Structure 1
């Protein structure tokens, strides 16, 4: 049954457990530029939702399935939160990550980071009312 999987390897070409080079999409220089621009926009939009005490960073890396995007937020207290995903490279025109997707990721990260602060602080404070 191993011969049926894409991870079985091709004799003399690809070792078992490795992806064939043809299976991993390559980005052109313009696609890389677009992807970095879109990821920077997500980080900038996330910063707009949060006070200056929150550190926001973004990264584009190459994984086993192609380019992977990670945007992370480090709140002043509490645990860091991040969003990672593999962008769809089909039908790329002016942007790889649409503005709706960028806004959704930014809002989700900002909300998660704020929740981390609330949870970290709520243990140390006694609520005045319920």
Structure 2
């Protein structure tokens, strides 16, 4: 049963449960720089939607299945929210993450972080009007 899975390992080359190095996509230096710049732009756009009390950070790392990008928001109260995604390596370096996806991620993170604050203080705040 182990032979019909890509995670079965190659005898003497790859341990069972590990991926072969040839199976994991790698970014060129230009793609890495572009991806880091793009993720930083998403974080900056997210900061534009939120007050200064929210902490926004971005990171690019090599994951098990290739490069992974992460943008996270820590609201002043409530749970942190994050968006992680894998860039489309088939596209040109400028389009690893499409413009629509960048905007959607920034808006979604800002909305989710604001919702976390609202949910955390909903019982403690008395409405001023009905």
The answer to whether the 8 Å contact 1:35/1:95 transfers is no
Q: Distance in 2 between matches of 1:94 and 1:59?
A: 18
In 2, Cα distance between the equivalents of 1:68 and 1:93?
15
Dislocated runs of 4+, deviation >3 Å: 126-130
TM-fit CA distance, 1:91: 2.1
Q: How many residues are treated as equivalent by the alignment? A: 130
Across the aligned residues of Structure 1 and Structure 2, the Cα RMSD in angstroms comes to: 1.2
| Structure 2 gap ranges (5+) | none
Displacement of 1:92 in angstroms is: 1.9
TM-score by length of 2: 0.95
- Post-superposition Cα deviations, 1:40-65, rounded to whole Å, max 9, x if no partner, equal 01001101111111110001011110
Equivalent residue of 2:31, what SS?
A: helix
Q: Does 1:82 align with 2:82?
A: yes
Residue equivalent to 2:3: 3
Which runs of 5 or more structure 1 residues have no equivalent in the other structure?
none
Q: 2 CA distance for matches of 1:109 and 1:91?
A: 24
Give the corresponding residue for 2:63.
63
Matched, 1:117 2:117: yes
The answer as to whether partners of 2:78 and 2:120 remain within 8 angstroms in 1 is: yes
Normalising by structure 1, we get a TM-score of 0.95
Q: What is the rounded CA distance, in whole Å, between the counterparts of 1:125 and 1:91 in structure 2?
A: 48
